[in-house]
Each structure stands twice: as C-alpha cells, then as structure tokens.
Amino acid sequence: MKILVTGANGQLGTELVHQLERIDISLFSYTKNNLDITDFKRVQKIVREIHPDIIINAAAFTNVDRAETEKELAFSINSIGQRNLAVAAEEIDARICYISTDYVFDGNAVEPYKEYSLVNPLGTYGYTKYAGEQLTQSLNSKYYIVRTAWVYGEFGNNFVKTMLKLATEKDEIGVVHDQIGSPTYAVDLAEFIIELVQTNKYGIYHCTNSGSCSWYEFAKAIFEEADIDINVIPLTSDQFPRPAKRPNYSVLNNMALQVNGFSTRRHWREALQSFIIKNN
C-alpha cells in the first residue's frame, strides 16, 4: 500500500509521518517546500508518478486571524489546494482524506455538532475549509473528511506549548472562558486517521478527544498537570478581541466514528496527561 502525505512538516502531518513510518506501507511525505499543493500541474505529476492508494492532505493555512487579511492565500491553500489533490486522486482511483475544522460551525448550538449539522462559518478560515470539503465531495468518489478541533501535540506551535512558555515569563495569565470546545491530542487524531483511511468507510467524521471545556479550563488543567503554580484569570471574548471571530461553542459529536465501529478517543484530560508526561 502506498500512502502520500502532504503538509508533512506541520503539527498533524509530522505526527502522521511518525506513526506511518512504523507500519508496513510505502510512505511518500511532502512538505510545502517540495510540493506546493496550489500548483495543479505539479500535484498531478507527482500523484501520477507515485500512484498512491491513499492521499492524506495535512497541508493547511491555519492562522485563523491572518486569514482575515490574507483571504486569497487561505483560499488557495485550503480550498484550491484540496481541489487539486481531489482531482488528481480521482484520476488514479485513489482515496483522499481532508482534514477540516470545527470552525465550519457558527457556535450557536446548545449541544455538540453532528457530522451533518448545518454549517455556517464565521470567518475566512472556516469558510475556506468548508469550501475544501465541498470540492472534495463533488470531485472525488472515495473521500474521508475529518473535522477536528483545538489540536496540540509534540510538533509545531499550539495552545499547550504557548501556555507552558508563558508560565516561564509571567505570574498571571488571562484566558477566555466563554469559548467551549474539545482539545485534541495529535497522537490520538493521527491514530484514527490512519485506521480510517485503510477502510472503505467513506464520508464525514468528527474526531476530537472526549469531553469538552473552555479555553480557561484547558489552561488551568495544563498548569495542574505540569505542576505549575500560576494565577489564571477568566476573560470574556470581548475582553480579548481578535481579528477573526471564534465560535463560542464548537463541541463536536463524534457520532459517525462510533456508528462505523471506531473507538472513541480517550478523555481530553487523560490525553493531556500523556502529553505533559511525554514532554517533561
């Protein structure tokens, strides 16, 4: 089996490559430096040459705030780049996996979003990821769309690493308490994706660690697990304005994962403990 991974040096992409290297497959990993997914001719050439069975697109423009001022770049990577891969995959009858986001929802729900709940992105990032979903569904017959949220891990920048770094510089940190979601450990997410793409159970999936919390509660848990004594102040989103509006409630219901026979991911607090222990 041949698996091609794009965005292989990103937070999730690096973890995917790390885990895929341990199993009996032929792995082809590309970073943005050696494969610009917005270049259709280059994408098509590589896909035709390798002829992978599976393509996992972990390449993405993920800077939510910068997307508001660099709309075309975000769209070209998150939407057009995915279109290019979906078309190239369909041409050789390959499966394709697209990593999407909780930001396709507006956050007005009062219960976790199911895979087929109505979407309504609040900003450019969510809009471009949803466009990528739509292009995938319309251009490829063997697709997996995996929406996730609040991802952190060993590689790249993320909220957990930021909190731990700030704790070395400050005695007090303010964190918003009115945005609710589900933290997701990249290790657990990658494990699911690798299991999923080796099946023919195509469709849309939500995958996060179990449970939910606010960013404030997440920060408190990080410091507790790391045994760091620091004062964490709850803030409202209005007190911490950002260029891009975030959904206030973006907890994802992992229903498709369960009904298709996959194991639910462990509780977010247990996953956080594993991360802290591994990185101490």
Contacts of residue 60, Cβ cutoff 8 Å, sequence gap at least 6: 7, 10, 77, 78, 99, 129
CA–CA separation, 152 and 184 (whole Å): 6
CA–CA separation, 147 and 198 (whole Å): 18
4: which strand partners? Answer: 28, 55
Work out whether strand 213-214 and strand 180-181 pair parallel, antiparallel, or are unpaired: antiparallel
Based on the residue annotation, tell me whether 125 is a catalytic residue of this protein.
yes
Side-chain-side CA neighbours of 75 within 13 Å: the count stands at 9
Task: Please report, as a single letter, which amino acid is at residue 114.
Answer: K
Decide if 152 contacts 183 (C-beta within 8 A).
yes
Q: Determine which one of 103, 113, 125, 205 is catalytic.
A: 125
Decide if 129 contacts 143 (C-beta within 8 A).
no
Residue 100's SS3 state is: strand
Neighbours of 91 (CB within 10 A): 12
Contacts of residue 2, Cβ cutoff 8 Å, sequence gap at least 6: 25, 26, 27, 28, 50, 51, 52, 53, 54
Neighbours of 113 (CB within 10 A): 24
The pair of structure tokens assigned to 125 is 């990032």
Decide if 37 contacts 59 (C-beta within 8 A).
yes
Instruction: Determine the number of helices (DSSP H) and then strands (DSSP E) in the chain.
Output: 10, 12
Catalytic positions, please? 125
